[in-house]
Chain A
Amino acid sequence: MNNKYSIFSLIKNAFTQHENWQQAWGNPEPKKEYDAVIVGGGGHGLATAYYLAKKHNMKNIAVVEKGWIGGGNTGRNTTIIRSNYLWDASAGLYDHALKIWENLSQELNYNVMFSQRGVMNLAHNLQDVRDLKRRTHANRLNGIDAVWLNTEEVKKFCPIINTSPDIRYPVLGGTLQRRAGTARHDAVAWGYARGADEMGVDIIQNCEVKGIKRSGDIIEGIETSKGFIKTKKVGVVAAGHSSVIANMAGLKLPLESKPLQALVSEPVKPIIDTVVMSNAVHAYVSQSDKGELVIGAGTDAYVSYTQRGSHDVVEGTLKAILELYPIFSRMKMLRQWGGIVDICPDASPIISKTSIKGLYFNCGWGTGGFKATPGSGDLFAHTIANDEPHKLNAAFNINRFVSGDLVDEHGAAAVAH
């Protein structure tokens, strides 16, 4: 049983030099059998396990992770959270997540540092203006806060943006979602892990899935680096490696895995108190609480699992950033990295049953999965527990690629609609 974190526990532990804090989650060996196994210990996987235990009373479950929890895309993204998606299905999905974010620190008794500092999407040409205005109207019809800002209002909201009309990417306006913002990515994984562990979920790290055992079209268990685990239900939340797991089960998915890059600067005093995303030029910027500029770039255009990404992609992003924010021209970049994102042809996720009974996939989040973490976990847990999708993720089934009923949302990272 974990201790509840509070101001009193903080003071109490201060007297013992913070040396007596309890382990936040255990390090168990896998049991022979579980009611369900989640493959992938990132934010989405841990959230799935948390909601399976909490809302569906499935306590005899495990999360298996080939590395350490939160070490994949959960620890590599730019932590932007928003729900201003165009289509009804996406709006429902992402706003469901945003509503959970708003109370998540309290629910988990773990500070995920959710900060509703607003997310602004810039328009650089006439088509951007039309598309973003349309999206603002669509958002408001779906009960999602959104406002259109003209160039002067953009400048007022974020004064360091260069709004001069003669630059390569002139700012013709933008949209603002004030409820949107950022959160601390590691804390999300750790908070869900601690919460799941407390309810009896086994979190098994350094345990790689080597094979999926099935008899006919029914799941029997998984082969792992720590031996065979018998289970009737396997929920795969493996992000860029979803196709690798699918291939083990003899399935093909409509995914391509590509490196997506991000980088952070040296820390500086507060200069940008919101998140600004530039759809057309793949340039996203915010500032972390430590003072680093957090910059998101685009994906490489080819399949790769290298977790690094190309130099020309970063160069293009920084060119755009420097023109929009001339004040950053002397900043030094400290670190650059890549995460492998699994992209669907319609840039929307898959939260779905499959043709194999007991095998479920939660994948295809592409470049924008972090924002959905709590909602994704909640809906995937519902899908696994009931063997039926929740109404909010029914549209995100895998059969949409057969029926043609796609959720064509090339706005995963607010990339041009």
Chain B
Amino acid sequence: MSTIFPKWTNGLPTMLAGGAVTTLATVVGGVWYFATPKFWEVGYMPEQPGGGFNHQLHVGKLGMDCKYCHTYVEVSPEANIPHVSICYGCHSENKLQKYVDSPAHREKTEFVRTAYKTDMPIEWKRVHKLPDYVRNFPHHAHVNAGVSCISCHGNIGRQPVVWQHESLSMSWCLDCHRNPEPTLVAKDQVTRLFEVEQQMADPAAMKVAGKKYYEERQIAAPENCGACHY
């Protein structure tokens, strides 16, 4: 019988098997690593008008409370983006100038005054956006349960320009809903980011304290589909 295949093809099955395994491992590993919100979403930091509201300065350095601007976070599902009048409350011509008066600063905050005078909203770009098949994420429910801002947004007081700190994937939501205790803090500390950050360095203590809060506040973090999806 004649030979149909040349001799080098003897190694072909081994090579093909090796290639198949490598390809499979690459595809699975690639999808595992790259095709997730953890890779795509985390670190999203769009360019904001006027270079962005400097949370590092306002929250971190000046110690402003989150609720000073995000006024409805305790009562509304939406942690509202403040109206420009709130910005103008400080950045009007005759207020901050008493303390910081430099041409650079004046120039940098000019867009606030322009927006106020022309009665046009500042076009902030939304950073944290959930898919449209998720109902409005209820900020008030989470804040009132004692989930600190830091759990979802990271320490905003360290972010000069806000970036997306967490993946916001469904498994990320469920991780917390299935094990909510370590994220619960005292109610008056929800917005005290730097204090919470220090507490979170000790997860065991968080867990112990969280257990107490969980029972006290009668929290029942839902895991059913309808809790988040219509």
Q: Is chain B found bound to chain A in the same assembly?
A: no
